[in-house]
Amino acid sequence: MTVLVLLAVPALVWMLGPGATWVLEHIDHTTVFTEDKDRAAALAAIRGNVLAVATGLAALLAVFYTARNADTARRTFQLGERGHDTDRFSKAVEQLGSNQAPVRLGGLYALEQLAQNNPALRQTVVDVICAYLRMPWTPPHEEDRHEKIRAAQHAARTRSPGRAESRASRDPNEERQVRLTAQRLLADHLRWQKRRWWQHPNPVFWPDIRLDLTGATLLDFRFDSCRVDRAAFEGTTFTGYAWFSEATFSGTAWFGARPSPATPLSRRLPSPKVPRSRGRPSPATPRFGRPTRVQTSI
């Protein structure tokens, strides 16, 4: 492109000078004029056409360079945004490893906002939240919770120095709230609502999401009216209530005991489709239909 510009400039200067006469004599084959003003008018017309062509080429060249600069700026902006998203993602994941529950909650909400603004990261964010729920954890018993409250009240009255040491480990009751928040964030973005043709789609719904909650511990799990591509609930422990009414799995849904490593893949057949239930479920199907109080590992 630079070579063409360097060649075009001398050609333009030549055409505005003696080149106009050469074009008039060798291309137009006009050599005889009755008056000098007719010759001058013909040369002026040739030079005017050359200027018009040069102006058009200059405009096209300006558009080309503007588009290229805009594309470069767009790519630079995208690289900057991608780097910014990577930094936000890394910081949010780091927050999930904190021993303080408010920091972990902030990491979850940061991941949610990042995924909502960037659809390409939604599956990655869901995978991170599922991995967090798969982390080993034992729900606290009711007696332990009351005992913890009494110990905290006693430490507050006596100003025991051991209170600061207890913060070094994760409090089971605080971890319960973090996990409930993680479950709610997943369900809020996977819950699909039927709409009429004139209604706008749910802006917070994340389509075609895959869930891997194998071996996770779920508390009062609400998955009603959710729609996912594939889901794995092998070896999952449901504590409290579990809602699966109107849930839709467009792909494969795995339920049941966690298979051993020696189990061949051909024997890991998917569970049959679960019919929609609107009445009270039977005792053998506590996870579907109306919520039932359960504490079981499947």
Tens digit of pLDDT for each residue in 212-238? 999 999 999 999 999 999 999 999 999
pLDDT score at 119: 92
Interior/surface letters 175-185, b for 16+ CB within 10 angstroms, e for the rest: bbebbbbbbeb
Q: Give 28 or 141, the one with higher predicted confidence.
A: 141
**Rounded Cα gap, residues 165 and 256, in angstroms:** 40
What is the DSSP track for 10-63?
HHHHHHHTHHHHHHHHHTS-----SSHHHHHHHHHHHHHHHHHHHHHHHHHHHH
pLDDT score at 74: 74
| CB distance 241 to 219 below 8 Å | no
**Rounded Cα gap, residues 101 and 219, in angstroms:** 17
Tens digit of pLDDT for each residue in 35-78? 566 667 777 777 777 777 778 777 887 888 788 787 777 776 66
**Rounded Cα gap, residues 69 and 56, in angstroms:** 20
Q: Give the SS3 label for residue 242.
A: strand
- For residue 178, give the amino acid letter: V
User: Would you tell me how many other CB atoms lie within 10 Å of the CB of residue 216?
Assistant: 25
Q: Give the SS3 label for residue 166.
A: helix
pLDDT score at 50: 75
| CB distance 298 to 236 below 8 Å | yes
Tens digit of pLDDT for each residue in 84-133? 888 899 999 999 999 999 999 999 999 999 999 999 999 999 999 999 99
| CB distance 235 to 259 below 8 Å | no
pLDDT higher than threshold 80 for residue 6:
no
Write the CB contacts of 192 (distance below 8 Å, at least 6 apart in sequence): 202, 205, 225, 226, 227, 248
Q: Where are the domains of the chain?
A: 2-78, 97-161+170-260+276-297
**Rounded Cα gap, residues 230 and 283, in angstroms:** 26
Q: Give the SS3 label for residue 274.
A: coil
Tens digit of pLDDT for each residue in 147-200? 666 666 666 666 544 444 444 567 888 999 999 999 999 999 999 876 666 666
pLDDT score at 188: 93
